[in-house]
Amino acid sequence: MNTTKALFSPLEHFSDRTLLITGLAASAAGLGLSVGFDVAQDGIFDLHIARLPFQTHLLFLTGNILLTALSLFLAGKVINPGTRLIDMVKVSMIARIPLYLAIPFIGNRTMVSLSERLVKQTAGGTSMPQLEGSDMALLLLLSMVSVLFLAGFFVLLVNGFRVAANAKKWQHYLSLAAVLLAAEVLSKFLYAKMVVLF
């Protein structure tokens, strides 16, 4: 087995049981990281620093997995009637692993204090925040790491979708992009309503 290929397209190379167990374990770890680092996963591909109760973190994570899986399933069902929801749930859980890995980078003390300083400096005024060289370097590093992990998320998602729905044409990937955008907008809308309710 080609290890690199297997890492970027796990649905193609691992058994259903392995994928399900890995997905569930990763989701549990992702929830733990969210609670531990106070990073909210408040969108299907969003991570923000926010101190929230455990049940809200759980709600966001479950919502993200289900919304992503359902949107992939809808697009997949149009492409290939044999597409199964369980495969999309597995894709959705596995694809989030890079996002979980990004949580410690976003929610660590240094980053939190830097973002608090930036918020204080910009609050109420229109002046540009005063940043030291080290702050700039930190922000640059965080941006690069975030882009890398986000790219990892999309690579796993697209490869998983390709295998689970047997997608081959560019139109299939266009429909994937459309449903993902719709799911992101829907997640933002739903979570805003839910947080008010809770």
Residues at the site binding other proteins, with contacts judged by CB under 8 A: 11-16, 19, 80, 82, 84, 87, 163-164, 166
Cβ 114 to other proteins, closest distance in Å? 42
- Would you give the end-to-end CA distance of the chain in angstroms? 47
For residue 155 the two structure tokens come to 């690579």
CB 82, min distance to other proteins, A: 6
DSSP string of 99-134, one letter each residue: HHHHHHHHHSHHHHHHHHHHHHHHTT--SPP---HH
Distance in angstroms (rounded) separating the CA atoms of residues 142 and 146: 6
Q: 148 or 163: whose CB is closer to other proteins?
A: 163
Minimum separation from the CB atom of position 21 to other proteins (A): 13
For 84, the token pair is: 């199964």
Q: d(Cα 153, Cα 158) in Å, to the nearest integer?
A: 9
Least Å from the CB of residue 86 to other proteins: 9
The amino acid that residue 138 corresponds to is: L
Q: Which is nearer to other proteins, 111 or 157 (CB)?
A: 157
Residue 74: CB minimum distance to other proteins, A: 16
Decide whether 2 or 127 has the Cβ nearer to other proteins. 2
Confirm if 115 and 37 have CB atoms less than 8 A apart.
no
Q: Report the distance separating Cα 123 and Cα 130, nearest Å.
A: 13
Which is nearer to other proteins, 168 or 193 (by Cβ)? 168
Residue placing its CB nearer to other proteins in the complex, 82 or 129: 82
Least distance in angstroms from the C-beta of 46 to other proteins: 28
Angle made by CA atoms 93, 49, 195, in degrees to the nearest 5? 75
Q: Rounded to an integer, what distance in angstroms lies between the CA atom of residue 174 and that of residue 183?
A: 14
**Cβ-based nearer residue to other proteins, 80 or 121:** 80
Q: Which two tokens stand for residue 103?
A: 């949580």
